[in-house]
Structure 1
Amino acid sequence: MQFPYAEVEIESTGAIHDDAQRRNALGLVAASGATDVLVLCHGWNNDIPQARRLYQRLTDNLAAVRPAVPGAASRTLAVVGALWPSIRWSDEDEVAGGGVGVEDEAAALIGAIATRIEDPARASLLTRLVPRLAESADARQRFLDALREQLPSAPPEPATDAASVDEDPPPPALLDGDEETVFQAMGGPEFDAGLPERTGGAADVGAGGAGEVAGGAADVSFGGAVGMAGGGAAGFGFDLDGVLAKARGVLNVTTYYTMKDRAGKVGSGGIATLLAGLAGAPQGVRLHLAGHSFGARALAAAAARHQRLHSYTLLQGAFSHHAFAVNFNGRGENGMFRTVLADRRLTGPMLVTHTVNDRAVGLAYAAASRLARQAGAGLGDANDPYGGIGRNGALKTPEAVQPGAELLDVGGGYQFQPGRVHNLRADRFVSSHGDVSGRQVAYALYCAIASQ
Structure 2
Amino acid sequence: MRFPYAEVEIESTGAIHDENQRRAASDLVAATGPTDVLVLCHGWNNDIPQARRLYLRLTDNMAAVRPAVPSAASRSLVVIGVLWPSIRWSDEDEVAGGGAGFGDEAAALTDAIAERIEDPTRAARLARLVPKLTGSAQARREFLDALREQVPTAPARLTSEVGAEDSGAEGRRASGSGAEDSGAEDSGAEVDEDPPPAALLAGDPEEVFAEAGGPEVDFGLPERSGGAAGFDVGPPEQRSAGGAAGFGFGLDDVLRRARGLLNITTYYTMKDRAGQVGSGGIAALLSALATTAPQARLHLAGHSFGARAVSAAAVRHPSLHSCTLLQAAFSHHAFAANFNGRGENGFFRPLLASRRLTGPMLITHTVNDRAVGLAYAAASRLARHAGAGLGDENDPYGGLGRNGALKTPEVVQPGGELLDVGGVYHFQAGRVHNLRADSFVRSHGDVGGQQTAYALLGAINSA
Same fold per superposition (TM over 0.5): yes
Partner of residue 315 from structure 2, selected from 304, 312, 319: 304
Name the structure where helix makes up a greater proportion of residues: 2
**Contact 1:148–1:254 (CA under 8 A) maintained in structure 2:** yes
2:173 matched residue in structure 1: none
Q: For 1:233-286, what per-residue CA distance to the aligned partner results, in whole angstroms no more than 9, with x for missing partners?
A: 223235321111100000000000000000000000000000011111245110
Query: Structure 2: how far apart are the matches of 1:130 and 1:232?
Result: 25
Instruction: After superposing the two structures, state which structure 1 stretch, 232-241 or 26-35, moved more.
Output: 232-241
Q: Within 5 A, what are the aligned runs for 1:206-285?
A: 233-235=231-233, 236-237=247-248, 239-282=250-293, 284-285=295-296
Query: Structure 2: how far apart are the matches of 1:188 and 1:112?
Result: 14
Query: Structure 2: how far apart are the matches of 1:37 and 1:282?
Result: 9
Residue 439 of structure 2 aligns to a residue whose secondary structure is coil
1:29 matched residue in structure 2: 29
- Inter-CA distance 239–56: structure 2 relative to 1 (3 Å threshold): same
1:90 matched residue in structure 2: 90
The unaligned stretches of length 5 or more in structure 2 are 168-187, 223-228, 234-246
Q: Within 5 A, what are the aligned runs for 1:194-209?
A: 194=220
Query: Structure 2: how far apart are the matches of 1:355 and 1:128?
Result: 38
Query: Structure 1: how far apart are the matches of 2:59 and 2:345?
Result: 34
- Inter-CA distance 269–95: structure 2 relative to 1 (3 Å threshold): closer
Q: Within 5 A, what are the aligned runs for 1:5-154?
A: 5-94=5-94, 96-97=96-97, 100-154=100-154
Rg: which structure is higher? Answer: 2
Partner of residue 176 from structure 1, selected from 202, 220, 230: 202
1:165 matched residue in structure 2: 191
Partner of residue 396 from structure 1, selected from 389, 407, 413: 407
Amino acid in structure 1 at the alignment position of 2:232: A
Residue 280 of structure 1 aligns to a residue whose secondary structure is helix
Residue 52 of structure 2 aligns to a residue whose secondary structure is helix
Instruction: After superposing the two structures, state which structure 1 stretch, 89-98 or 131-140, moved more.
Output: 89-98
1:378 matched residue in structure 2: 389
Residue 45 of structure 1 aligns to a residue whose secondary structure is coil
- Inter-CA distance 51–184: structure 2 relative to 1 (3 Å threshold): same
Query: Structure 1: how far apart are the matches of 2:117 and 2:215?
Result: 28
Q: For 1:146-181, what per-residue CA distance to the aligned partner results, in whole angstroms no more than 9, with x for missing partners?
A: 011011132222465761111111010000011111
Q: For 1:316-346, what per-residue CA distance to the aligned partner results, in whole angstroms no more than 9, with x for missing partners?
A: 0000000000000000000000000001010
- The reply on whether 1:435 has 2:433 as its aligned counterpart is no
Amino acid in structure 2 at the alignment position of 1:170: P
Query: Structure 2: how far apart are the matches of 1:194 and 1:48?
Result: 36
Amino acid in structure 2 at the alignment position of 1:372: A
1:354 matched residue in structure 2: 365
Amino acid in structure 2 at the alignment position of 1:363: L
- Inter-CA distance 100–178: structure 2 relative to 1 (3 Å threshold): same
TM normalised by structure 1 equals: 0.90
Amino acid in structure 2 at the alignment position of 1:447: G
- Inter-CA distance 322–240: structure 2 relative to 1 (3 Å threshold): same
1:187 matched residue in structure 2: 213
Query: Structure 2: how far apart are the matches of 1:23 and 1:358?
Result: 37
Query: Structure 1: how far apart are the matches of 2:254 and 2:294?
Result: 58
Query: Structure 2: how far apart are the matches of 1:252 and 1:285?
Result: 40
Residue 330 of structure 1 aligns to a residue whose secondary structure is coil
**Contact 1:190–1:377 (CA under 8 A) maintained in structure 2:** no
**Contact 2:215–2:374 (CA under 8 A) maintained in structure 1:** no
**Contact 2:95–2:374 (CA under 8 A) maintained in structure 1:** no
- Inter-CA distance 194–312: structure 2 relative to 1 (3 Å threshold): farther
- Inter-CA distance 44–23: structure 2 relative to 1 (3 Å threshold): same
Q: For 1:77-110, what per-residue CA distance to the aligned partner results, in whole angstroms no more than 9, with x for missing partners?
A: 0000010000001125257456611111111000
**Contact 2:35–2:297 (CA under 8 A) maintained in structure 1:** yes
Q: For 1:172-215, what per-residue CA distance to the aligned partner results, in whole angstroms no more than 9, with x for missing partners?
A: 0000011111111122799312499xxxxxxxxxxxxxxxxxxx
**Contact 1:304–1:339 (CA under 8 A) maintained in structure 2:** yes
Q: For 1:12-69, what per-residue CA distance to the aligned partner results, in whole angstroms no more than 9, with x for missing partners?
A: 0000000110010000011011110000000011111111111000000010000100
Residue 316 of structure 2 aligns to a residue whose secondary structure is coil
**Contact 1:195–1:356 (CA under 8 A) maintained in structure 2:** no
**Contact 2:158–2:279 (CA under 8 A) maintained in structure 1:** no
Query: Structure 1: how far apart are the matches of 2:381 and 2:95?
Result: 21
The unaligned stretches of length 5 or more in structure 1 are 197-230
- Inter-CA distance 189–430: structure 2 relative to 1 (3 Å threshold): closer
Partner of residue 303 from structure 2, selected from 292, 295, 303: 292
Query: Structure 2: how far apart are the matches of 1:367 and 1:403?
Result: 30
TM normalised by structure 2 equals: 0.88
Task: Give identity over the alignment, percent.
Answer: 76
Query: Structure 2: how far apart are the matches of 1:77 and 1:247?
Result: 45
Instruction: After superposing the two structures, state which structure 1 stretch, 151-160 or 9-18, moved more.
Output: 151-160
Query: Structure 1: how far apart are the matches of 2:215 and 2:265?
Result: 21
Query: Structure 1: how far apart are the matches of 2:25 and 2:387?
Result: 47
**Contact 1:39–1:79 (CA under 8 A) maintained in structure 2:** yes
- Inter-CA distance 439–118: structure 2 relative to 1 (3 Å threshold): same
Amino acid in structure 1 at the alignment position of 2:282: I
Which contiguous aligned blocks of 4+ residues in structure 1 show a shift greater than 4 angstroms? 158-162
2:242 matched residue in structure 1: none
Residue 328 of structure 2 aligns to a residue whose secondary structure is coil
Instruction: After superposing the two structures, state which structure 1 stretch, 382-391 or 154-163, moved more.
Output: 154-163
Query: Structure 2: how far apart are the matches of 1:334 and 1:233?
Result: 33
**Contact 2:132–2:139 (CA under 8 A) maintained in structure 1:** yes
Query: Structure 1: how far apart are the matches of 2:453 and 2:95?
Result: 31
